[in-house]
């Protein structure tokens, strides 16, 4: 069984070329073998920057107010300036076989775009305008193709907003589960490489089943350390029926604590007992940008890469237990088919 260790994307480091080089070194030392380019800026702002520069959106303090609705709705000709991704490809040549590229998704981008200066709820954001979401989806698709052309072979759409839109009993703002599936099939059609989606927060059963059934997706990535109840939505049979891999987050992306390997291994075993051996691209729950400003950067570097190193060690322990029938780490359960 080959299980890769990955990262969702962001780091709490200065947005400069030197940080990209430090991240490459940190990945190597911590044993990450499917690394993401380091997002060193806000993951929404970095993709909406071209819209701001084109006069379509206005930054109003962390949200983005529409200035040109027609410009927002028409097919995008904008290209993001993902300099981190370009530098990371150059800095990691010959080092990694797999490169992961995170792209912020259309639903999440739209939820940060205001249709009016003040918004009481998501109905006052571009998330309520399906034509805008469709235009942003085309922009996301262009970004995925662009990153694939740079050499990235694991392409991820980051859609934390989907855990809000799709609840256990209803889907917000007039969307249907089929709309979510159609959107992902569209953005990934014609995109080469492994294709995944990252959704943080609590995952409802309908959202899990919808994402797993998307034909163009290969990997679904959820958090389990901060939202342990996500284990309960996992269905091994469904993952296998649709040939999907589960990429679990098993360490906190919010706490400065570096979790013990035994704790991470325990979470990983619990996941495997529910999902079977359909596990790959193990990471922390999310990126580490939320840790910025809580400690000096030198300390944050040590924390981030030690977390990734512990994840590597937990994965190695899991795989070793599978290979060694006498290992105390190996406990097959006839019902779950895992350990």
Taking the C-alpha atoms of residue 202 and residue 168, their distance in angstroms, rounded to an integer, is 10
Specify the pLDDT at position 228.
Answer: 97
Q: What's the pLDDT tens digit per position in 84-122?
A: 999 999 999 999 999 999 999 999 999 999 999 987 889
**Helix/strand/coil for 39:** strand
Which residue is associated with the tokens 């359909």? Answer: 278
Specify the pLDDT at position 325.
Answer: 56
| CA neighbor of 156 nearest in space, from 109, 113, 188, 202 | 188
Predicted TM-score of the model (pTM) = 0.94
| CA neighbor of 55 nearest in space, from 78, 33, 87, 22 | 78
Specify the pLDDT at position 331.
Answer: 45
Locate the domains of the chain by residue range: 17-323
CA-based torsion, 181, 129, 170, 108: positive or negative = positive
Start-to-end Cα distance in the chain: 13
Residue-by-residue pLDDT tens, the chain, 339 positions: 789 999 999 999 999 999 999 999 999 999 999 999 999 999 999 999 999 999 999 999 889 999 999 999 988 888 888 999 999 999 999 999 999 999 999 999 999 999 999 878 899 999 999 999 999 999 999 999 999 999 999 999 999 999 999 999 999 999 999 999 999 999 999 999 999 999 999 999 999 999 999 999 999 999 999 999 999 999 999 999 999 999 999 999 999 999 999 999 999 999 999 999 999 999 999 999 999 989 999 999 999 999 999 999 999 999 999 877 555 444 434 334 333
Residue pair 166/208 in contact by the 8 Å Cβ criterion: no
| CA neighbor of 150 nearest in space, from 73, 56, 217, 85 | 85
Contacts 24+ apart (CB under 8 A), 174-183: 174/130, 177/206, 177/210, 180/207, 180/210, 180/211, 181/210, 181/213, 181/214, 183/106, 183/107, 183/133, 183/137
Q: What's the pLDDT tens digit per position in 41-94?
A: 999 999 999 999 999 999 998 899 999 999 999 888 888 889 999 999 999 999
**Helix/strand/coil for 42:** coil
Pick the CATH number of 17-323 from 3.30.1490.100, 2.30.40.10, 3.20.20.210, 1.10.3720.10: 3.20.20.210
């Amino acid at each position: 069984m080959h299980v890769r260790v990955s990262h969702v994307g962001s780091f709490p480091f200065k947005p400069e070329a030197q940080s990209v080089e430090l991240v490459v070194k940190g990945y190597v030392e911590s044993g990450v073998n499917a690394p993401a380019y380091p997002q060193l800026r806000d993951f929404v702002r970095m993709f909406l920057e071209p819209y701001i520069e084109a006069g379509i959106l206005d930054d109003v303090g962390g949200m983005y107010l529409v200035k040109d609705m027609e410009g927002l709705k028409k097919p995008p000709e904008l290209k993001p300036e993902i300099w981190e991704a370009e530098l990371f490809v150059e800095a990691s040549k010959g080092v990694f076989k797999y490169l992961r590229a995170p792209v912020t998704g259309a639903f999440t981008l739209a939820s940060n775009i205001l249709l009016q200066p003040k918004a009481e709820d998501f109905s006052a954001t571009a998330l309520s305008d399906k034509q805008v979401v469709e235009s942003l989806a085309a922009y996301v698709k262009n970004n995925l193709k662009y990153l694939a052309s740079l050499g990235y072979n694991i392409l991820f759409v980051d859609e934390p907003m989907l855990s809000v839109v799709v609840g256990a009993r209803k889907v917000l703002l007039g969307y249907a589960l089929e709309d979510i599936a159609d959107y992902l099939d569209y953005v990934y059609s014609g995109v080469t490489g492994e294709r995944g989606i990252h959704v943080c927060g609590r995952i409802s059963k309908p959202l899990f089943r919808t994402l797993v059934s998307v034909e163009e997706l290969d990997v679904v990535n959820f958090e389990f350390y901060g939202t342990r109840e996500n284990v309960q939505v996992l269905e091994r049979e469904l993952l296998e029926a649709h040939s999907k891999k589960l990429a679990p987050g098993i360490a906190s992306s919010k706490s400065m604590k570096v979790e013990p390997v035994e704790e991470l291994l325990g979470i990983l075993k619990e996941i495997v007992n529910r999902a079977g051996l359909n596990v790959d691209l193990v990471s922390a729950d999310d990126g580490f940008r939320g840790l910025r400003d809580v400690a000096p950067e030198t300390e944050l570097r040590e924390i981030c890469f030690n977390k990734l190193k512990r994840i590597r060690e937990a994965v190695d322990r899991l795989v070793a237990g599978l290979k060694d029938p006498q290992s105390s780490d190996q406990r097959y359960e006839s019902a779950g088919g895992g350990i």
